[in-house]
Amino acid sequence: MRFNYIEEEFTKKSYFLDETVFDSDYIPKNLLHRENELIILSRIFLPLIKQPNSTSRKLIVTGNIGVGKTVTLHKFSDMLKESSKLRGINFEVVHINCRSHRTSYLILTKIVKSLIKDIPERGLSPSELLNSLMEVLKKTNTHLLLILDEMSIILNNDVDILYTLSRVNESNISKRKYLSLICVVKDVHMLKSLDDATLSTLQNEIIHFKNYTKQQIFDIIIDRIKLGVRPNIISKDIIEMIARMTARTGDMRMALKLIKNSVLYAERHDLNSVSPEAVRVANAEFSPLSRDDLNRLNLHELLIFKAICNVLQTQNKRYIPIKIIAEEYKILSENLGEQPRSNTQIWEYIQNLKNLELISVKILNKNIKGRKSMVSVQNYSIKTIQGELKRIIKERS
Ligand SMILES: Nc1ncnc2c1ncn2[C@@H]1O[C@H](COP(=O)(O)OP(=O)(O)OP(=O)(O)O)[C@@H](O)[C@H]1O
Ligand SMILES: [Mg+2]
């Protein structure tokens, strides 16, 4: 048989145990560091399980991108369904992402279709849909928790659904409550545009999901890697690097994408394990290097940046002491016939590179004999930076 590259690829062992654990809709078995939010939600909803349909809940969940709002609410829905099933209570949860259902009509149709399997396909009017919904809830004595996720999408567009839904509880003489609502928005200020009446339909309480800390991101990543990646492909040091890079925004989705893409990079380049450069390349996909930032640097800042990249590349390490960078910088300056700047000046230039987020700096041994500053490049591929620097330095010198 001729050499067959497809067969060759088959013989290679994938670096992943299961790549799907990095998919955005994957629901992890363990939800770490959201115990408090789950406890608060459970306390708020307990009366609905204790005395079905005697009361209802309306709350707003806020928090930045990728802080686990959706996944936590999925887990909470499972708990609600389990506890109500245990007690023979009819409780339904419909979780709607307003990004995929952008109008009141689409949302209402989705709710009704989730609850009534044999609803006719022909276009029912909104009031017919609402009536069918209320009839079913009453007839089956079912409480519905509706989660409107990414609600900001409909806020400036079509908020009729909020008026419509408020009628489910109000237009009912027996005073039984069949609908609870959780609305998810990034920031509570997004609700400013709503009038008071609508706002009161939405909210009794607000639960805010704080950003994850670096350590929390680290724990969550470790857990996911155990499921998704073969042992020894990602070192603790690399996980620490990714946790540090994503801690500023707390965005777990970004952290998981970085892991997946850097493992793919290592696999495609036949590296034994994920290298710092693999992570930088993966990250550069999300935040490309700004040429404007580089153009604003003076020649010596450019040379220092180049020195940093050279040393990081030859040593294949994450962090390099400033002393070694200064030595490399001096050689680069002299090669160009430039007088190297003083150590104080070098330090100032390094601070400037740090402020532009081109590099990061960490101080070691804060309390022991003297401090040692270590420099790293996290966000961009060294190869890409070197290409850009070569061009700009040539123009300037
Ligand atoms: N505590 C956690 N434990 C395990 N995985 C988590 C945790 N928090 C978030 N994740 C994972 O991170 C990703 C982002 O989480 P999620 O989609 O819930 O964020 P979000 O707050 O809803 O973001 P957005 O505002 O963009 O909708 C998901 O893949 C989710 O599985
Ligand atoms: Mg979400």
Query: How large is the C-alpha radius of gyration of the chain?
Result: 28
The predicted structure's pLDDT at residue 396: 83
Q: Are residues 121 and 167 in the same domain?
A: yes
Q: Are residues 43 and 189 in the same domain?
A: yes
Is position 162 within any domain? Answer: yes
Residue-range definition of the domain harbouring residue 242: 213-284
The domain that holds 96 is classified in CATH as 3.40.50.300
Q: Are residues 221 and 315 in the same domain?
A: no
| Ligand 1 lined by 252 (C-beta under 6 Å) | yes
What residue has token string 């001096």?
Answer: 330
Is position 108 within any domain? Answer: yes
Structurally, the chain folds into a number of domains equal to 3
Q: Are residues 160 and 309 in the same domain?
A: no
Q: Long-range contacts made by residues 354-363, C-beta under 8 angstroms, separation at least 24?
A: 356/293, 356/296, 358/293, 358/294, 358/305, 359/305, 359/308, 360/244, 362/319
Q: What is the distance between the alpha carbons of residues 306 and 298, in angstroms, rounded to a whole number?
A: 12
Q: Are residues 84 and 50 in the same domain?
A: yes
Q: Are residues 256 and 372 in the same domain?
A: no
* 10-26 per-position pLDDT tens digit: 777 889 999 999 987 89
Q: Are residues 146 and 276 in the same domain?
A: no
- Quote the mean pLDDT of the chain: 89
Q: Are residues 57 and 151 in the same domain?
A: yes
The predicted structure's pLDDT at residue 195: 78
pLDDT band at 355 (very low <50, low <70, confident <90, very high): confident
Residue 384 C-alpha to ligand 2 middle, in angstroms?
A: 33
| Ligand 1 lined by 65 (C-beta under 6 Å) | yes
Residue 60 C-alpha to ligand 2 middle, in angstroms?
A: 13
| Ligand 1 lined by 34 (C-beta under 6 Å) | yes
The domain that holds 331 is classified in CATH as 1.10.10.10
| Ligand 1 lined by 52 (C-beta under 6 Å) | no
Whole-structure pTM value: 0.82
